[in-house]
Structure 1
Amino acid sequence: MNSETWQVKATLLLVSSLTIMSMITISASLPDMTTTFSKVPNHVALVKLSLSFPGLFIALSAIVAGIIIDKTGRLKLLGIALVLYAIGGTSGYWLNNLYAILAGRALLGISVGISMTIVTTLVADYYQGKARQKFAGLQIAVMSLGGILFITLGGILADIDWRVPFLLYLFSLLILPPAFLFLKEPQRMSRPTVKSKIKSPGIIWLIFGNVMLMWIIFFIIPVQIPFYLKSIGVEKNTMIGIAIASSTLFSAVSSFSYSRIKDLLGFRQIFGLGYFLMALAFIAIAFGNSYGMVLLGMLLAGLGMGLMIPNANVWVMQLAPQEIRGQEIGRLTTFWFFGQFLSPLVLLPFLDYFTLDQLFYGLGIVLFGLTLIFIIWYWVKPRQLR
């Protein structure tokens, strides 16, 4: 199989785009969902949880999927995952019970945990060195651009009815034919035995923890920005969708540039730069109190995350031995989405004691601290772990 053909690349990118749309397509629907289910106990928290709920099941299923695909191959589960994606994703359109919708979101999460682990592992299998670095940046950029499309459509459709954006999840069925036609099982190495004790370097766990932390902080944006914009007088769901989509647009811009930036900077330097941009973003939101300043914050946050996501992916791809690559990428996916699930659980309780402005300001200070940690780490050991 020639992995350089446009058909192979396009199929990998289409499967990748399902990940971001699984979480934030319905962001603009949250305020109206809250009104619809106002009689349900704890309805505000449950509606907000519906956005991040798939993250828990992505996290739980990804690590299992990684182990399975190392044993049985990469592609056997992909078709099943794409069908489950459509069933679970559209649940919010058909169901009238909030708890049933949450169950559908859980099924959506399981399907994404499988498909995301498979597609990222295939990228590592199909491409090496500079080609892998370029495709990893392209992968996140296209995911971001797909996010713009689906977030914007979600905002527009939410003005019709909050349920309509859930139909966008049928998109996964369109990917089934090219997935079967163009993706082929890569040549496999022998599976590791107990005696071989094949392991990745210990620093890979630091990357996993860092990925979880950056998503805990960043995911407050799609969870809280719709409510924050409503509080400052922005009533149109379309405008809310545009604000969130602007972050995704600039994530695509920086991801497209990742390979060039990686030629100049090391992994730790890129994490430091990403956290610095996110810190500026959160400070802008905290002191803005206007739609324009929120947009500025969205742009800066997108630039930061657009660098850090492919940076983490490429670093893990580089560290993971091929024999356990699926397992390690499954772990990366687990920490990624466990961070998204934990985000509202960790951060929203602070709103009982602080205003949303104060929360964004405090997180901005934390992000500046993370920037300093990575800068000092690189300064102490500049030639190692580049």
Structure 2
Amino acid sequence: MKSETWQVKATLLLVSSLTIMSMITVSASLPDMTRSFSDVPNSEGLVKLSLSFPGLFIALSAMLAGIVIDRTGRLKLLGIALVLFAIGGTSGYWLDDLYGILAGRALLGISVGISMTIVTTLVADYYQGKSRQQFAGLQIAVMSLAGILFITLGGVLADVGWRVPFLLYFFSLLILPAVSLYLKEPKREVKTSETVKGIQSPRIIWLIFVNVMLMWIIFFIIPVQIPFYLKEIGVEKNAMIGIAIAASTLFSAVSSFSYSRIRDKLGFRQIFALGYFLMALAFAAMAMGNSYAVVLLGTLLAGLGMGLMIPNANLWVMHLAPQEIRGKEIGRLTTFWFLGQFLSPLVLLPVLNYLSLSRLFYILALVLLGLTLIFLMWYWIHKRSLATTDAQN
């Protein structure tokens, strides 16, 4: 198939955009949704849970989806996942039971765990070398821009009624015809189960998985806590708070667009060092917290750092994973990605019982600086190892 056509690329990018819209699209509906279910015990907590609930089920389903698509093919499950996305996503519009809506959000997460694993695996299948490198950056950039678009649309529709933004999840059904027309099953060599059992990725891939989880645990505190932090320093306008969060997403897209050019000059380890250094500067700036402008600078720097590290992790895993188990490894990557998002408030919020937000940001800045040094040392050790090997040969 001709994977370089704009139709194929657009279809892959549209499917990728479903990941970012799965959780944030209905965030503006939460206050009115809480009032609507005020008679339900612990309604406020349950409504807030509905926003992050898909993330847990993305993490739980992605690894299994990766194993299945290695055995049955990439596209058999994708159409089903898109239909499930629409059913689970729109549940908030049709259902009057809060627990039923939570079940729908769980179904939404399962569908995203499947679709994200498939689409990222297809990127690795369709593209090689420079083309894969460019598309990996483009994929994350478009996902970031889609996030800004969907959260804006969700906010506008929430003014009509809190249920209306849930209808945006029908978007997955609009993608179905393009998936059927333009995406083709990659050619694969048929392997026996015994042969596949002996195929493994290099052990370094687990370091990437853990690293992805760690970077999401740290980064995800920004959308969760920056609104409260800005209120603490006297920023009362919600529009200004929204701009600070959106700026992080926007600059993530900017650096993702630039990823391929940066990758031409730097290795995987160097890019992680650069990304963590930018995030260290970001949290140091936010820790100062003496003005809105300084905090805004921090969110911009954090977005730049994450915009480099996400495609870098994706591309490194694509590079390391053998084709026969590529789906399984990308499923694991997706699992660790969303496990980090789910764990972030569980890991970091209890710390706020003992530290102020500014003190926590200072500590995170130091942790991120330490990670920068670790990746730089790893780069120099790896470079020296390669030089020694070349000299021996």
TM-score interval, normalised by the smaller of the two chains: over 0.9
> What is the CA–CA distance in structure 1 between the aligned matches of 2:72 and 2:251, rounded to whole Å?
38
Q: Deviations over 1:138-166 (max 9, x none)?
A: 11111111112112223444455544433
Q: Deviations over 1:82-107 (max 9, x none)?
A: 11112222233444444333222211
Are the counterparts in 2 of residues 81 and 111 from structure 1 also a CA contact under 8 Å? yes
1:174-189 correspondence runs (5 A): 174-189=174-189
Are the counterparts in 1 of residues 90 and 169 from structure 2 also a CA contact under 8 Å? yes
> What is the CA–CA distance in structure 1 between the aligned matches of 2:342 and 2:97, rounded to whole Å?
21
The answer for the alignment partner of 1:212 in structure 2 is 213
1:252-331 correspondence runs (5 A): 252-331=253-332
Once the two structures are TM-superposed, the CA of residue 345 in structure 1 deviates from its matched residue by 1.3
> What is the CA–CA distance in structure 2 between the aligned matches of 1:279 and 1:8, rounded to whole Å?
37
Partner secondary structure for residue 69 of structure 2: helix
C-alpha spacing 1:147/1:198, structure 2 compared with 1 (3 Å) = same
Give ranges in structure 2 of 5+ residues lacking alignment: 388-393
Q: In the alignment, is residue 247 of structure 1 matched against residue 248 of structure 2?
A: yes
Partner secondary structure for residue 75 of structure 1: coil
Partner secondary structure for residue 184 of structure 2: coil
Are the counterparts in 1 of residues 233 and 289 from structure 2 also a CA contact under 8 Å? no
C-alpha spacing 1:159/1:255, structure 2 compared with 1 (3 Å) = same
Further displaced range: 343-352 or 162-171: 162-171
Letter in 1 for 2:370: G
Letter in 1 for 2:319: Q
C-alpha spacing 1:220/1:41, structure 2 compared with 1 (3 Å) = farther
C-alpha spacing 1:65/1:384, structure 2 compared with 1 (3 Å) = farther
> What is the CA–CA distance in structure 1 between the aligned matches of 2:43 and 2:220, rounded to whole Å?
20
C-alpha spacing 1:377/1:255, structure 2 compared with 1 (3 Å) = same
Once the two structures are TM-superposed, the CA of residue 45 in structure 1 deviates from its matched residue by 4.5
C-alpha spacing 1:55/1:152, structure 2 compared with 1 (3 Å) = same
Letter in 2 for 1:121: T
Number of residue pairs the alignment of both structures matches: 386
> What is the CA–CA distance in structure 2 between the aligned matches of 1:329 and 1:93, rounded to whole Å?
32
> What is the CA–CA distance in structure 2 between the aligned matches of 1:39 and 1:365, rounded to whole Å?
45
Further displaced range: 3-12 or 370-379: 370-379
TM-score (norm 2): 0.90
Are the counterparts in 2 of residues 156 and 237 from structure 1 also a CA contact under 8 Å? no
Are the counterparts in 2 of residues 192 and 198 from structure 1 also a CA contact under 8 Å? no
Once the two structures are TM-superposed, the CA of residue 258 in structure 1 deviates from its matched residue by 0.6
TM-score (norm 1): 0.92
Once the two structures are TM-superposed, the CA of residue 31 in structure 1 deviates from its matched residue by 5.2
Once the two structures are TM-superposed, the CA of residue 170 in structure 1 deviates from its matched residue by 2.1
- The RMSD of aligned alpha carbons is 2.4
Letter in 1 for 2:204: I
Give ranges in structure 1 of 5+ residues lacking alignment: none
C-alpha spacing 1:175/1:33, structure 2 compared with 1 (3 Å) = same
Once the two structures are TM-superposed, the CA of residue 52 in structure 1 deviates from its matched residue by 2.3
C-alpha spacing 1:153/1:275, structure 2 compared with 1 (3 Å) = same
Letter in 1 for 2:119: V
Percent identity over paired residues:
81
